Amino acid sequence: MSFELSGPAQEAHDHDGRIMVLGGPGSGKTTLSLLKTQRLIPGLESGQNVLFLSFSRAAVRQVMNRTKDVLTRDEGSRITVQTYHAFCMDILRAHGRLLSGKPARILFPDREKISKASHDGDWKVERDRLAVEENLYAFDNFASGATSLVAQVRKVAELVADRFPVIILDEFQDTSDAQWELVHALAERSELIVLADPDQRIFEYDDRVDPERLNQVRALLAPVEFDLGGDNHRSPDAGILNFADAVLQNRELPKTDDVGVMSVWPRSYPAATHAASIWLYAKLRKEGVTKPSIAVLARTNGLVSEISGWLSETHKFQGKEYGPVSHDVLWDAEISAAAAQVVASILEWSGVDPSSDAASTLEAVASFFDVKSAVATNGPIASAVVLRDRYRVNAQALRDGKGVRPIGAKWILAKAVSGVSFVGNPKADWLAARTILEGASGLEEIVQAVRFVRLFGATDEIGGQLSEQWDRAGNYGRATDIVRRTLDQGRLVSEQREPQGFVLMNMHKSKGKEFDGVIVVEGHLHRGVFFSEREEYPHLATRRLLRVAITRARHKAIIIRPMGAVPLTQ
């Protein structure tokens, strides 16, 4: 592919020294950084690479794919694309011994969960102590551990800089305090290329992400700045970006054929979303995109899962029939796996001791909320922690021969007492177990999350294994084990595969990605709505998120909103 650079982009490309490149969605920041890498490669010595640091494995994969458009295969081998986590873990593993004389060990999340559960007191304090005194690092301590090494041990700093004389920092506006400290330490010896768009700061509810970050970079590192401003290579005829910018700035929406807003009655939502998806696909094909990629985005995972259900059915809309659409869902694997464990625990009910059966399920419910809180981007979720503790206490109460309090727990106990009889058909039995859960008030999100497992096709694999277990033993005694092992394998596949065609995900997950078409679906009745009363007018965080979501589109975006919703701009 050949790329022509605009004035500021060319200057940034040619400039020697520390730089910061600012630019909106699709302005070409990533591409520019790769072109610059290409320019710098001949100057690298053998064994040296350019380091590209990003936040998530998904973003790393995205950049790796992008390198193929810009760099030759040989050049591609001279750039190391890593998450902050992986980079820090490498430093800790290689040099951790230098901090305390003992080799650094990693406290993996599963283990951390167990240690945390058995620890009385503030886990964060204990976690920091484990890192400092025992050289045992939980994921959240990777960055600070690596920073200590780079800042305190000169040799380590020299080795890192010798290996990576140039470091590209992606999405810098979302850097946490610990990551920023690390970057600050690395800046002493390596050349930095900072990429940022302050208006794509969508993780600001995370209190480790500081809105002042770019000013801190300016104050402490004084990079030369280049603003790609209005450049827009993703959707060059500008309609999409102008529309998204108007949403961000809460000003009058420009007229454009590239973005359509549909107002739909709630009862027509499934059919309208389904029809819009197929319509958009056909439209893009007609415009010459041979294999369109389309993202269907919603604010919450619950709504994403619902939409997936809609696309899997047949609908009639305005007199036309629309058949099921095959699609991928980018999901939070850990949450769904934990939800599947709840269903599996019901499959394990033996009926011999209903209280013990129900207690195991309540324990699985507690673990679900534990995982939900543990994987949240913005740290533990207080409400999930409360639910975890409540269900854990109630599980114990049942084991101690006492009663349970939450309505959902009462329901589960009643079902265990009345007993279920499984028939040996894993599909039907899985559904029967899930149906029990569906009746449990307060546990709706577990049912939602477990649907993702079905969507992901993992149930076939689980079904096969459950069948074997039934044939062997006449019961599903090892269901939780089977589900856990199967989903662990499935998770690997889900991370390696690049989704194609229709892909559903929440808006946060869409960051850094691009698609030919995008459909943004707003929910109603408090679920996945854009402008909630909980957020202060003019709903800036939501506007940033919407801008990120809309600008993922190269050619066309459709926004589906409930009839009567608050206007996008006012």
Contacts with ligand ATP by CB under 6 A lie at: 3-5, 23, 25-31, 69, 197, 233-234, 512, 514
E-state strands within 99-171? 105-107, 136-138, 166-169
- The nearer residue to ligand ATP, 58 or 362, going by C-beta atoms, is 58
Q: How far is CA 530 from CA 47, 167, 526, 533, in A?
A: 49, 37, 9, 10
Instruction: Give the residue among 427, 431, 469, 470 at the shortest CA–CA distance from 346.
Output: 431
Q: How far is CA 256 from CA 238, 244, 557, in A?
A: 9, 11, 11
The residues, ordered by sequence, that sit 6+ positions from 98 with a Cβ below 8 Å of its Cβ are 149, 153, 155, 156
Write down the least CB distance from residue 21 to ligand ATP, Å.
Answer: 9
Smallest distance from ligand ATP to CB 213, Å = 16
For ligand ATP, the closer of residues 137 and 515 by Cβ is 515
Nearer to ligand ATP, 29 or 544 (CB): 29
Return the ∠ at Cα 550 (arms to 548 and 555), rounded to 5°: 130
Q: Give the residue carrying structure tokens 């304090």.
A: 125
- Provide, rounded to whole angstroms, the least separation between the CB of residue 58 and ligand ATP: 12
Dihedrals φ, ψ of 375, to 5°?
-95, 0
- In the complex with ligand ATP, the residue whose CB is nearer, 14 or 438, is 14
For the CB of residue 4, give the shortest distance to ligand ATP in the complex, in Å. 5
Closest approach, Cβ 209 to ligand ATP, in A, equals 17
Structure tokens at 113: 């969960």
The two structure tokens encoding residue 355: 């209280």
| 8 Å CB contact between 420 and 432 | yes
Mention every residue, 6+ apart, whose C-beta is less than 8 A from residue 177: 208, 210
List the structure tokens of 23.
């630019």
The smaller minimum CB distance to ligand ATP, of residues 79 and 307, is found at: 79
Binding positions for ATP = 23-30
Residue placing its CB nearer to ligand ATP in the complex, 36 or 392: 36
Phi, psi of 388 (to 5 degrees): -55, -50
Closer by beta carbon to ligand ATP, 93 or else 233:
233
Q: Give CA–CA dist 179/124, Å, rounded.
A: 17
Measured from the CB of residue 64, what is the shortest distance to ligand ATP in angstroms? 13
Smallest gap from Cβ 22 to ligand ATP, in A, equals: 10
Q: Show binding-site residues.
A: 23-30
Nearer to ligand ATP, 20 or 138 (CB): 20
What span, in angstroms and rounded, lies between the C-alpha atoms of 171 and 160?
A: 22
Measured from the CB atom, the residue of 27 and 277 that comes closer to ligand ATP is 27
Strands 166-169 and 191-196: parallel
Other Cβ atoms within 10 Å of 206 Cβ, number: 15
Q: In angstroms, give the least distance from the CB of 40 to ligand ATP.
A: 17
Closest contact distance (angstroms) between CB of 484 and ligand ATP is: 35
Q: Is 554 helix (H, G, I), strand (E, B) or coil?
A: strand
CA gap 366, 517 in Å, rounded: 39
* DSSP per residue, 4-64: ---HHHHHHHH--S-EEEE--TTSSHHHHHHHHHHHHGGGPPTT--EEEEESSHHHHHHHH
